[in-house]
Amino acid sequence: MADIVLINPRFEMSFFGMELVMPFIGRRANMPVASLPLLAALTPGKHHVTLLDENVEPIDFDRIARADIVGITGMGIQRQRITEILDELKKRGAFVVVGGPMATVHEEYFEGRVDAIFIGEAEETWPRFLEEWERGEHGYRYEQAAKSDMTKVPTPRFDLLKMNRYLFGSVQFSRGCPFQCEFCDIIVTFGRRPRIKSSEQVIAEIEAMDRQGVKIAFIVDDNLIGNKRAIRPVLKAVADWQQRKGFPLTFFTEASIDLADDPELMQMMVDANIISVFIGVESPNEESLRETKKYQNVRQGRSMIEKIHAIQEIGMEVWCGLIVGFDNDDTTIFDRQIQFLEEARIASGLVGMLHAIRRTPLYDRLLAEGRLAETDNTEFKTNVVPLRMTREEMHEGYIRVLNYLYSPENFFRRMDSLYIDAKIEMGRTRAEYWKKHPIQGLLTNAMFALHATGLFARMMMGIPEPELRREYRKRIANLIRHRPDPGLVLTYTFKCAQHYHAYTMARKMAAKRESLVNGYVGTTGEPQPAASLA
């Protein structure tokens, strides 16, 4: 039997992480990475597995170094901390293996640092490695010959995580995306043929999450609707489960904008209690979309704004990712991004500078053109040399956009446009259920009101700026006057907390007091890809 410790290093501060407001919410991190509990489920039961997420608990290096196998996963933005952990463990003589997105795209970085490395998905290679390790015959490099069969993936071991320290849970229905966006590493790592779990697997996974007391979970799929035909029975099964259980789980997810072209599919997502969807908009500049092969976003009938409104009107809020720095972008792109978010009624727009990820078509093209720059010793936080503006202009424009979007006046104008003027109704199917089960609806709404009150009180005590506290009080009171719905008030209060985090980060970036991670670097948005030691 092996004593195995699997580690996810802490993340640098980011717009997505909400680190500044976790004390108000009573949590330590937004969500767990999908890889740790999945690797634990792939490990034969005779071994002892400990999962350690440094985002919610410190690393005890003395204890870790005594393990037979220490596995480390991580993304590129965790590179510095991965290096620090590796150096400390190797000084202590630990047997260390590594995998995940960072190892997959920067394999050469780990030469001489680890005892084994896993490239790509690990559903087959991790169990094989453990068998070989037991025999004393393990290799150094492991990479599957084929993509994992998702119908054989086990239910993750959420019970080994400290789930009460996370704001959200995370579940996965499928992997892969059918599109060909030049900048995206998803299709490199997981492929363009979406692979999906069976309905039975998905129900087992969300039930395992529900047993941990989780109320809100992120469906981390790269594109939930990548295979529209196959996802339909899964969504139907989730909707039926919600009806049977009384809607215990609320979901948010990622999808491509062609979701708006399928009203039936949108309704199925609403029935499954998906209340929010992240969409990779990338740019309102159609030439930039064509350049990067994001053809699904190029106007086909309705505009992107019209499609976003259609998704909102059926009862799902839209978050989006935007990128500046495409070859067809000049300095006018910054005001165009701002105008787009205003018209689209999107409060949560994650804007980032274009970054070329290793192994993507964008990286290969820019490398051939001599337009990749070293990022480790520069303030710009992107390796792309833009074509129609300088790096200084791109960096300054990016910071200007962030500060404009998250000024209180501009942020809440977009918020109120959606929640008060457009009167978006999230959770419509759940509301219909409560009409038939009024006692349950009453109890749930009372819980929402209690949580909203607690969060509001902690924000009023914890936020040092009196002008922000006044702004939040004014805005929440205005919402209650127009729409006194407890669930909506909780959502709005949470949005105020999100605003505080983003606003504070944007101001620090503008003042150049702190070096911060690019908020959105061009994948479909999920900052912690699943699959892996991977």
Mean pLDDT of 517-526: 39
Question: Which whole-number Å values give the CA distances from 52 to 30, 32, 55, 124, in the listed order?
Answer: 15, 10, 9, 22
pLDDT at residue 377 greater than cutoff 80: no
Q: Tens digit of pLDDT for each residue in 70-129?
A: 999 999 889 999 999 999 999 999 999 999 999 999 999 999 999 999 999 999 999 999
- CA-based nearest residue to 456, from 476, 478, 481: 476
- Could you tell me whether strands 195-196 and 174-175 are parallel, antiparallel, or unpaired per DSSP bridges? antiparallel
Structural domains of the chain sorted by starting position, each given as residue range(s) with its CATH number in brackets: 3-143 (3.40.50)
pLDDT of residue 409: 98
Give one word for 233, left, alpha or beta, with left for phi > 0 and alpha for psi -120 to 50.
Answer: alpha
Decide: pTM greater than 0.75.
yes
pLDDT at residue 374 greater than cutoff 90: no
- Spatial distance between the Cα atoms of 69 and 164, rounded to a whole number of angstroms: 26
Mean pLDDT of 478-502: 98
pLDDT of residue 380: 58
- Could you tell me whether strands 349-353 and 317-324 are parallel, antiparallel, or unpaired per DSSP bridges? parallel
pLDDT at residue 497 greater than cutoff 90: yes
Long-range CB contacts for residues 234-237, cutoff 8 Å, separation at least 24: 234/173, 234/196, 234/197, 234/198, 234/199, 234/202, 235/265, 235/268, 235/269, 235/271, 235/272, 236/199, 236/268, 236/271, 237/199, 237/200, 237/202, 237/203
Share of the chain above pLDDT 90, in %: 90
pLDDT of residue 16: 83
